[in-house]
Structure 1
């Protein structure tokens, strides 16, 4: 039995498509919410059991873990310790955890919570009674379609505004990863239990790219002319803190602004060696996303 969390989410749906494309034969138990759109699950043709529940409910997680051999935890890194604890107590063989390269951030606020999660996971698995093998996957900035919370916002900005502020001239490096590549990576890890046991992998895009070049490529795809205003990092953080205070915490871009001041490019050599990871170029990925955006704009 394969247990999956977050399968109706942005990257989860691409993992589901890989299961479908590869005609996965085993039983799959998917944790969903009452509000989840499960139409793709229902139409998948796979042996899927849907269970409705809350990952914050320990008793529910324990029950959902019964009879499970492998866990693919895609939804929310902060639930990983509970998932791992339940996996261990139910003698689950493998737990594949989708975390984030945000753990490497030099900014305490941006990485401390992620580090605590992985430390707790390590503590749980160091117990002598633990029979669960752990694999951690750390994607970089995720994009791929208009459901993402990263490039979709940049595309809309470039389309609507001729002048765009960038932090420190936009010189920081990114390595965005397409959600389709993540779906393929998740499936590859699933079918490579020996090669990936006990390891952690960074899952990045094809090549590093400067933030300013990200905007320029989007501008070209949209056939727009864009001008940029460089904003020093400390001023950007000050403004984001003011906005957070003014909106009573409803709008909080502090972490995102902080991370715009540091390089976020990470090699994925180990993933390529162990399970053949080969992401598409950013040019190809952003072209597809802009085309989707323009298609939706025409419909509206």
Structure 2
């Protein structure tokens, strides 16, 4: 697909350029999207970009990319700022997260924007109300805001995201396996998950961006290659960490009572109740539609976790060397 094809799909064929406004480009998956853009720079034609970044964000990858990316420094909670940043945009790729989607969409409906790509979450499908209620409300409000307006929308719903020592998800398990000789799991940890690597998401954002004809006005689940049980994930981690970890099972009622006790003893300041509940909630989701519509083909968990553990060990070694010098 050429840039001119994208222009015609978004109603901007008469414009000199097609500006894409991006949020979250300095984040973990946003950085992978930027890498993919950089690789494809010869094919971007007249497409230009504007990135909304926070004042303290590391902009080196943007500056070193060689891409035509203008930078707007500000806060996605600032309605006036978002509206100003969106003045020339025809497409918005919102990677920064579901909790700021409403502000972004409100600005879009009062701007030249013709296409929205929003990165949300499969947390919307959780059986636990506190995990899903907010997400459902946000998506419903987003759809209400664009109803009867000439704006196309694509919603992307990643599963558990992993791929770096700062992923805030799988890295927690990696650290626990690394430190604990005896590792407690709930109900034998035989529940299927389908984590998705950050790189696969960055590539997916790019593919959705350049394929409006097949992706507009659709919702896509972005999951890893195949489901994997939590116990098998943990075992893989132990293998790559070269640890002889012993996993032992704790019945769910015992684990949940423990979480309730912690909640009570800390007067509600530490709440692991829902985390324990979600440890026994299957979270595997197929990505067939994404594969069909834009060729989504994510890596397998064994490949992704091996790379993440290598990065974790390298980071750990660097910290150890620094502490020894001190």
For the pair shown, the structure with the greater C-alpha radius of gyration is 2
Q: Aligned pair in 2 of structure 1 residues 96, 242: CA closer, same or farther (>3 Å)? A: farther
The counterpart of 1:102, out of the listed 123, 137, 151, is 123
- What is the match of residue 2 of structure 1? 20
Per the alignment, residue 13 of structure 1 pairs with: 31
Measured after TM superposition, the shift of residue 202 of structure 1 is: 0.3
Q: 1:47 to 1:238 in 2, by over 3 A?
A: farther
TM-score, scaled to structure 1 = 0.94
- Tell me the equivalent position of 2:13: none
Counterpart pick for 1:186 among 205, 211, 226? 205
Q: Shift of residue 285 of structure 1? A: 0.5
Contact in 1 for aligned 2:237/2:305 (Cα 8 Å): yes
TM-score calculated relative to the size of structure 2: 0.87
CA–CA separation in structure 1 for the residues paired with 2:66 and 2:260:
48
Give the stretch that moved more between structures: 236-245 or 269-278: 236-245
Q: Which residue number corresponds to residue 308 of structure 2? A: 289
Which secondary structure does the structure 1 equivalent of 2:178 belong to?
Answer: helix
Residues in 2 aligned to 1:291 and 1:203: alpha-carbon distance in whole angstroms: 24
SS at match of 2:109: helix
The residue number in structure 1 matching 2:83 is: 62
Q: Does residue 114 of the first structure (1) align with residue 132 of the second (2)?
A: no
Q: Give the counterpart of 1:93 among 103, 114, 125.
A: 114
Match for 1:195 among 214, 217, 228? 214
Contact 2:87 2:112 in 1 (8 A): no
**Displacement of 1:79:** 1.2
Unaligned runs of 5+ in 1: none
Listed one character per residue, the Cα deviations across residues 181-216 of structure 1 (whole Å, up to 9, x for unaligned) are 000000000000110010000000001000000000
Which of the numbers 103, 119, 130 marks the counterpart of 1:82? 103
Which SS does the other structure have where 2:76 is aligned? Answer: coil
1:91-129 deviation digits (Å, cap 9, x = unpaired): 311110000000000011110000001111111122x2x
Q: Which residue, out of 68, 87, 95, partners 1:47?
A: 68
